[in-house]
A and B are shown apart, each in its own frame.
Chain A
């Protein structure tokens, strides 16, 4: 019953997200807005609702399976991409190399060292 109650919450927040997207004509997916609304709700309440946590964990573990039908579609569009294979390959590999390098550089400059006060004790 707990999982069902949690699932009911998740569906409710998705519907709330969808309503907001339609009313405000946001260029966002209902799921993302629902995710933000639910996070906001947790922040206001100061804790995670146990029912929601119970339903969230199995769903998150299933995410990979839920996107699989989309991944299988890749094999159907390979011939459409073939014409631009160099652009796609370079964009994905070189682009990722550049963004990883930028992220590491940026964060090394901005994140305080582990020894400073801001660390919160789940290290070492």
Chain B
């Protein structure tokens, strides 16, 4: 058995097969559990995959080398986000003035709060760089963290927790502040909770979903443009 696995590790197809299998199983389990918002399918799939790797005694680095072939697609998939962004362009045209004020501020605040709190509690610069893009959609956030000199793995965990937390907080605060404007709830979900928040927004309604994907994509682009600059100005070594 271990000889076979060693042989399979010479090809990326084992890692690709395990990833697809875990993803499909994670999704099926998610449905079976009644689609709980606090536990996105990607979390179930990742836990399954981690357990499988442990069980088959496959080192993470070996897995990652094969899975890199799959992650290669992240590049064109990021470019593909231009399609939903363009489809929401009419919202941008109609509301460009409030959006032009809101989004850069909200985007920078999200990063600022995270970095300031972690810094005050003694986190080292490399950890700060991994936490700064925590509200940005994963494919874009990975690029930002690499630019800043952080760890992609820590970032991924941060993204998951942030997405789930943002979804819960928007729901709670929205109820408390009696906000029922779908545009507002959608934007707040997309800006703070990236893809996980956007999924929740589509459950609220199509308008909320549209504004969430708009907020998510613009937050990603704005953070990618602004954060490395601010980072350099603030004097963190990249």
- Enumerate chain A interface residues (CB-CB to B < 8 A): 7, 10-11, 13-14, 17, 27-32, 34-36, 38-39, 42-43, 48, 52-53, 55-57, 59-60, 62-77, 80-81, 84, 86-88, 90-104, 106-108, 110-112, 114, 118-120, 122-123
Within the complex, what minimum Cβ distance (angstroms) separates B176 from chain A? 10
Q: Complex Cα distance A72/B153, Å?
A: 8
A14-B60 contact in complex given A31-B143, A95-B113, A106-B105, C-beta closer than 8 Å: no
Name the one of B71, B75, B122, B158 contacting A69, with C-beta atoms under 8 angstroms. Answer: B71
- List, in ascending order, chain B residues with CB within 8 A of A77's CB: 151, 153-154, 157
Residue of A nearest to B93 (CB): A120
Q: Complex Cα distance A59/B229, Å?
A: 30
Residue of B nearest to A61 (CB): B77
Name the one of A70, A73, A104 contacting B177, with C-beta atoms under 8 angstroms. Answer: A104
| Given A29-B143, A65-B20, A69-B19, 13 extra CB contacts under 8 A | A32-B221, A35-B217, A60-B77, A68-B45, A69-B68, A74-B157, A92-B114, A95-B114, A96-B162, A99-B166, A100-B169, A110-B102, A114-B181
B80 near A91: Cβ-Cβ < 8 Å: no
Q: Complex Cα distance A108/B173, Å?
A: 13
A72-B60 contact in complex given A35-B81, A48-B87, A107-B98, C-beta closer than 8 Å: yes
B127 near A81: Cβ-Cβ < 8 Å: yes
> How many residues on chain B are close to A (CB under 8 Å)?
109
Q: Complex Cα distance A64/B14, Å?
A: 19
Residue of A nearest to B59 (CB): A76
- List, in ascending order, chain A residues with CB within 8 A of B87's CB: 48
Q: Is the interface of A mostly helix, strand, loop or mixed?
A: helix
Name the one of B71, B85, B114, B140 contacting A29, with C-beta atoms under 8 angstroms. Answer: B140
Q: Complex Cα distance A88/B165, Å?
A: 13
B9 contacts A by Cβ under 8 Å: no
- Residues 105-145 of B, flagged 1 when their CB comes within 8 A of A and 0 if not, give 11001100111111001111001000100110011101110
A–B Cβ pairs within 8 angstroms, 17 of them: A7-B76, A14-B75, A28-B225, A28-B228, A29-B140, A31-B140, A32-B140, A35-B79, A39-B85, A63-B77, A63-B195, A91-B121, A93-B161, A93-B165, A100-B170, A104-B173, A114-B181
A-B contact count (CB 8 A): 318
- List, in ascending order, chain B residues with CB within 8 A of A72's CB: 46, 49-50, 53, 60, 63
Q: Complex Cα distance A109/B54, Å?
A: 51
A87 near B121: Cβ-Cβ < 8 Å: yes
- List, in ascending order, chain B residues with CB within 8 A of A123's CB: 182, 207
